[in-house]
Amino acid sequence: MEETLPLGRIAGVRVGLHWSVLVIVALVTVALGRGRFPDAHPGHAPLLYWALALLTAVVFLASLLAHELAHAAVARRNGVEVDGITLWMLGGAARLRGEAPTPAAELRIAGVGPLTSLVAGGLLAGVAVGLEALHVSALVVEAVSWLAAINVLLAVFNALPAAPLDGGRLLRAYLWHRTGDRLRATRGATAAGRALGWFMVLTGFAVVLFRGDLSGLWAALIGWFLISAATAEARQADMRGVLGGVPVGRVMTADPVTVPAAATLADFVSAGPFGHYRHSAFPVLAADGSVAGLLTVRHVEATPPQSRERTTVGEVMLPLADVVTAAPEEPVLDVLPRLQASPARRALVLDAGRLVGILTVADITRALAWPAASGPAGRREEA
């Protein structure tokens, strides 16, 4: 889930919002400002209900952020790099660059999230009791009580033993510890995630059909998200099983077709698409033979035809500093996240500065589809 609005960094961790977070803010605000608050404590001005509801929704987002920050902090302590945190419609997601090295580390990283929400719920419940004892407005007490309850509910739901929930990570840690096989453990946790997802989808639609309660659609939506996320996680695990330990040099396309930086775009276009330049992206070489960057067909298309006679490849290419690079001996799985995040979706493979190949997502997909590419999937890993 990519962020739409960056919020900066907290303790060195990049934090951002996805546009869909507005949905949960709106839902919480409407549910509280139009329903719960006026129903429980009538007689106040409508503006007060809506203002307090919006503030409560913002504090709820802050509690989700605290949940994810706890994951990030513990992940760092266990040697797992954190790319950032994004809050979105169904909660938050801490983007980890790697996986926990041991089942024990997995247990700590996963378990701290629900624990943080549970502690937050307990503290907020204590604040609500204190405010009530001080005879603070019952409406304010209601808002704090709701926040306490929702954090406890968040902790309980996240602790369910089904991936991609935190409880699924806990289940995977347990299965990994028992079997010594991370891939097998992941398959078990993701299967549980799909089962929970289908249960929520069917239950949600049953509530809508037989009780006429549209809130069942929310449960069905969460269930569908669980199914999709668990399926994607299972595929990622299978990919790691096949490509684990495989170097880039075995997967890349060696000796790719290159284009000189001094060539004009008109010369380049005239040589394709069925001639020398039959691909869609090409490493660019400077006059001395060094790698200068990467040219894609999109760069050429962005240049007006009448300007291509006097425009060189070097003027429109993506500079090497902006291109993903990798070494032949680097593990494919270490390069894949950078490759997926790159607009060009390609990596130039350099050996001591010399171009030896190009790696694309298609190269990795081909390796995964090849029957002989069994990789070290069945190896056992010790805690």
Structure tokens at 352: 């001591």
Beta pairing partners, 319 = 293
CA distances 316 to 79, 251, 277, 299, 323, Å, are 40, 28, 17, 6, 14
Mark whether 68 is an active-site residue.
yes
Q: Is 135 helix (H, G, I), strand (E, B) or coil?
A: coil
* Sheet architecture: strand order including 91-96: 5-10, 13-17, 82-88, 91-96
User: C-alpha 35: how far from its chain's center?
Assistant: 34
* From 68, 106, 142, 233, active-site residue: 68
Structure tokens at 264: 């004009």
What is d(CA 102, CA 124) in angstroms, rounded to the nearest whole number?
Answer: 34
Beta-strand relationship, 324-326 and 346-351: parallel
The helix (H) or strand (E) run that includes residue 351 is strand 346-351
What is d(CA 87, CA 154) in angstroms, rounded to the nearest whole number?
Answer: 15
What is d(CA 372, CA 343) in angstroms, rounded to the nearest whole number?
Answer: 31
Structure tokens at 368: 């995964």
Structure tokens at 274: 């069925």
CB atoms within 10 A of CB 45: 8
DSSP state, residue 78: T
CB atoms within 10 A of CB 112: 20
DSSP states of 234-290: HHHHHHHHHHTT-BHHHHSEES---EETTSBHHHHHHT-SSSS--SSEEEEE-TTS-
Provide φ and ψ at 350, rounded to 5°: -120, 135
Place of tokens 């005239």: 270
Closest Cα to residue 70, out of 106, 115, 105, 102? 115
Cis amide bond preceding 337, omega within 30: no
Task: Provide the annotated active-site residues.
Answer: 68
